[in-house]
Amino acid sequence: MTFDDAAGNQPPTAGASRTPRALLLAFNHKPHEKVVALAERLLDEGARLDVVVLSDTNWADLAGRPNVRLFTLGAAEKRHPLLRTERIVVTSGPRRVARGLSRLAGGGTASGLSRRQERLSRAFHKRVFMKAYSNVRPLVLSRLADKRLSELDLERDPVDLIVASDALSITLGWRLARRFPNVVATTSLDPPPLAQLTAAA
């Protein structure tokens, strides 16, 4: 479920009592059980909960619940110029070359050449590219999220709590904390109760 799909999670109208709102940043593909437990706790406290994730695949248990919106970045990351360039240079480009050479060579030589090309491409992707990309990935994800912040509507409907739950999400959490200095932002998976935060606001 995306922000556009979500029901029952609209900004409060004038004169209505305000429901606490929390933003959970969870970029690990499989969320840790403590992260899921925090999401459950925030919902039990009556929060409207927005969860920014790479993929909603492992969030099915929460996706259908009222007051939960999932915001995915995985597809946007795959379209990022860095990853698209790597796919062209390391995978699709060499594959086309290997196929062309295979057609010329024919027979068993063709399949052997293709297998070697695939093996080398996978090895380069895992051992070279991903190791280098991991150093800039938090910044890439932060900037991708930054482009979509209008959908979060944090200016008109501010959050009471921002939790960066893993190493990949800390950069985005830090940027949001700088942009919204009056919001409690933390990496702790045991933040203060929302009632305590809203009472102190």
Superfamily of domain 21-73+148-200: Glycogen Phosphorylase B; (3.40.50.2000)
Q: Which residues of the chain have pLDDT under 50?
A: 1-10, 12-16
For 103, half-sphere exposure in the C-beta direction (CA atoms, 13 angstrom radius) is 5
* 3-state class percentages of the chain: helix first, strand second, coil last, to nearest 5: 55, 10, 30
Residues 40-74 pLDDT 10s: 999 999 999 999 999 988 898 888 889 999 999 98
Q: Are 58 and 30 in contact (CB under 8 A)?
A: yes
The structure tokens listed for 179 are 């942009």
Question: Which pLDDT does position 26 carry in this prediction?
Answer: 96
DSSP string across 14-71:
TTSPPPPEEEEEE-SSS--HHHHHHHHHHHHTT-EEEEEES-SGGGHHHHTSTTEEEE
Q: What is the pLDDT of residue 5?
A: 35
Residue-level pLDDT at 27 = 95
CA 140, 77, 183, 36 dihedral sign is: negative
pLDDT in the model for residue 98 = 66
pLDDT value of position 101: 63
Dihedral sign, Cα of residue 36, residue 40, residue 43, residue 45: negative
For residue 4, what pLDDT is reported? 32
Quote the pLDDT of residue 110.
57
For the chain, domain boundaries: 21-73+148-200, 81-136
pLDDT of residue 103: 67
